[in-house]
Structure 1
Amino acid sequence: MENPAMDPELLQKLAQHMEHHPPKMEEFQGVLLPESTCQIWDQIHNFQAREDDILIATYPKAGTTWMQEIVDLIMLDGDVERSMRAPCFIKVPFLELNPKPMPMQSGVEAADALESPRLLKTHFPVDLVPPSFWEKNVKIIYVARNAKDCLVSYYFFQKMNKGLPDPGTWDEYFSAFLAGKVPWGSWFDHVTGWWKAKDKHQILFAFYEDLIENPKSEIRKIAKFLGKDLTEEILDIVHHHTTFDIMKDNPMANFSALPSFVFDQSVSNFMRKGKVGDWKNHFLVAQNIVFDEEYKKKMEGIGINFRTEL
């Protein structure tokens, strides 16, 4: 059966619709979320997790797609061909996604249709995660990335992602990010909330910077958390196929399957740099001082040590 999403006439109509109906955000329990997500809140909140689900939770642009590919390959024992079965946004449902008017299922509908074991993802702060995940004691992998690189990456992502509002100028976005007035809320609240929850539930708290610096030992740690004992050969396969350059050229991972009126990769690649320390190319000296002051206020005494360079 022909995929309706690829029908040229339908694509043109959708592009026109998105042009005339820019995305709106809504504040929900103190967190800015897409209005479309808020419209199906009951469906999301009542989502039924299964005991063998694996949930990947992140603040946006903290390595979500990277972790999806790592976990998928671990669970498939390094079977690269099977990992290429579908684009990442199809094989790993995004719980809070409500893609209307796109002819796609919501994240909840897509997840409900999957056979177990399911791999799912969310950008929710810990307080907004559907209660059934805690009731079923689901394994959750949280990936945290230093705030400065997250800010830069998120700015470019919002420029190319037509499903989110235009981020405005760099200066405007810098201030909005520090104030937590960006989609999915405050980076500070997000990471500290998940950090405090990690010892009460089955949560593996992983750092983006560790994945960059020691990918194989981190992949081994993730596999152990998931109850998988990988051979050295499989470990090498998982590592190779989740390197930045390989993923950037992988049409199942680089979001090139999405039309340009959804992700306009002529503005910025979805997979842009994947580095630690790129913030130095964007932060002004004065901005760095302001950021460090705010960071100290909000993160002092929390006990999380982020690295902003390697």
Structure 2
Amino acid sequence: MTRNSERNIELMDKYFSEGEKIAPEDMLFSYRDILFPASVSSPETLEALKSFEARSDDVILVGYPKSGTNWLEQMVQELADAKYTEEERKEIINAEKKVETFQRLEFGDPGIYERMKKLPSRRIIVTHLTPQLLPPSIFQSKAKILVLVRNPKDTAVSYYHFYNNLPLLPSFASWDEYFPDFMNGKLAWGSYFDHLVEWNKYIDNEKIMTISYEELKEDQVQGMKKIAAFFGFSLCEEDFLRIAKKTSFKAMKEKSSETHGKFGDVLFRKGVVGSWKDLFSKAQNEEMYRKFEDTLGGTKMAAKIKYDVYCKA
């Protein structure tokens, strides 16, 4: 269960209710040439984000939408909270309730960043943003950043279903209508290729670690050990096994109504590697391969994603 499930459910119920009243053309706004959902953010909030004050012990989690950030967030919360007693966890949850935190750094009203100063350390902060849109203090501080990446084909498919099942975003009549918008970055949070290109510039930064969704799926315990070492979390072997069981896709999907309310059904769909094979045409396979090679070919980010392993037609 997430640290503050009650708050998550309250927010998502509100968003769902409001989203049903918004015309499709009003669901997104543009900020610095990137689209964002109007129900959960605003240009004023993104401007206010520049003033966010990072702490040296902040845990920053980054991932493009539908690359596995909800799964990663839950894992990291469990890893970070392993040292706390049940009473201490309740104190953290109560503090978050008072501050009225949101699930993503870029969500909420412009006053959220002032309120976040009241949160106890270590704060776990999740975002879908690229480096140039993050507040300068994150890079100026000693805060560590974990970047999650996923093969672009599965990300595209997962985001397609997410778009069509979430009333906060305009839906698409078909996969073929959606595909050009994914390829051209005409979706909320912009281009996944641009996202990867920008984070590739930081791949050798000692304060930043990149891990792939597929790597975590192959061996979650080993992946969590790497994450714990990076952030300096101290856990025993039993902790890792317990958390892996608690945060498996099956376990999280079964509890999704408790942790995320209506949003649970939208959030937890399949959680597998390779579902892109059901939708991609031969032409779309070729187009994405060319795009990947043109933007990321030969980079360390490309090596991390292993396109030839996970995206072979």
- The TM-score range, normalised by the shorter chain, is 0.7 to 0.9
Q: Is the 8 A contact 1:32 1:182 kept in 2?
A: yes
Give the equivalent residue in structure 2 for 1:102: none
**Matching of residue 293 in structure 1 with residue 298 in structure 2:** no
Task: Give me the whole-angstrom Cα distance separating, in 1, the residues matched to 2:231 and 2:182.
Answer: 33
Greater shift in the superposed pair: 212-221 or 296-305: 296-305
Q: Is the 8 A contact 2:256 2:264 kept in 1?
A: no
Query: CA, structure 1 residues 75+211, in 2 after alignment: closer, same or farther (shift >3 Å)?
Result: same
1:68-79 matched pairs, under 5 angstroms: 68-77=73-82
**How far off its partner does 1:16 sit?**
6.3
- Alignment TM-score, normalising by the size of structure 2: 0.81
**Matching of residue 114 in structure 1 with residue 89 in structure 2:** no
Task: Give me the whole-angstrom Cα distance separating, in 2, the residues matched to 1:13 and 1:189.
Answer: 28
| Matched AA of 2:64 | Y
Percent of residue pairs identical: 31
1:237-276 matched pairs, under 5 angstroms: 237-251=242-256, 255-256=260-261, 260=262, 263=263, 265=265, 269-276=266-273
Query: Which residue of the other structure, out of 27, 34, 39, is the alignment partner of 2:37?
Result: 34
1:188-267 matched pairs, under 5 angstroms: 188-200=193-205, 202-251=207-256, 255-256=260-261, 260=262, 263=263, 265=265
Query: CA, structure 1 residues 293+112, in 2 after alignment: closer, same or farther (shift >3 Å)?
Result: same
Task: Give me the whole-angstrom Cα distance separating, in 2, the residues matched to 1:48 and 1:164.
Answer: 30
| Matched AA of 1:272 | R
Query: CA, structure 1 residues 107+176, in 2 after alignment: closer, same or farther (shift >3 Å)?
Result: farther
Task: Give me the whole-angstrom Cα distance separating, in 2, the residues matched to 1:106 and 1:220.
Answer: 36
Alignment deviations for residues 9-37 of structure 1 (CA, whole Å, 9 cap, x no partner): xx799836742454432332232223433
**Matching of residue 185 in structure 1 with residue 190 in structure 2:** yes
Query: CA, structure 1 residues 12+238, in 2 after alignment: closer, same or farther (shift >3 Å)?
Result: closer
Give the equivalent residue in structure 2 for 1:25: 28
Task: Give me the whole-angstrom Cα distance separating, in 2, the residues matched to 1:299 and 1:34.
Answer: 27
Query: CA, structure 1 residues 213+14, in 2 after alignment: closer, same or farther (shift >3 Å)?
Result: closer
Aligned length in residues = 291
Give the equivalent residue in structure 1 for 2:104: 94
Task: Give me the whole-angstrom Cα distance separating, in 2, the residues matched to 1:184 and 1:13.
Answer: 18
Secondary structure of the structure 1 residue equivalent to 2:107: coil
Alignment deviations for residues 96-116 of structure 1 (CA, whole Å, 9 cap, x no partner): 1137xxxxx975366334211
Alignment deviations for residues 94-138 of structure 1 (CA, whole Å, 9 cap, x no partner): 111137xxxxx9753663342111101110011101111111121
Give the equivalent residue in structure 1 for 2:274: 277
Give the equivalent residue in structure 2 for 1:64: 69
Task: Give me the whole-angstrom Cα distance separating, in 2, the residues matched to 1:51 and 1:71.
Answer: 17
Secondary structure of the structure 2 residue equivalent to 1:150: helix
Q: How well do the aligned residues superpose, as a CA RMSD in angstroms? A: 3.3
Task: Give me the whole-angstrom Cα distance separating, in 1, the residues matched to 2:85 and 2:69.
Answer: 19
Query: CA, structure 1 residues 164+139, in 2 after alignment: closer, same or farther (shift >3 Å)?
Result: same
**Matching of residue 157 in structure 1 with residue 162 in structure 2:** yes
**How far off its partner does 1:210 sit?**
0.1
- Alignment TM-score, normalising by the size of structure 1: 0.82
Query: CA, structure 1 residues 12+93, in 2 after alignment: closer, same or farther (shift >3 Å)?
Result: closer
Q: Is the 8 A contact 1:188 1:298 kept in 2?
A: yes
Give the equivalent residue in structure 2 for 1:147: 152
Query: Which residue of the other structure, out of 14, 17, 21, is the alignment partner of 1:15?
Result: 17
1:118-133 matched pairs, under 5 angstroms: 118-133=123-138
Query: CA, structure 1 residues 14+119, in 2 after alignment: closer, same or farther (shift >3 Å)?
Result: closer
Give the equivalent residue in structure 1 for 2:3: none
Unaligned runs of 5+ in 1: 100-104
Unaligned runs of 5+ in 2: 1-5
Task: Say which structure, 1 or 2, has more relative contact order (CA 8 Å, 6+ apart).
Answer: 2
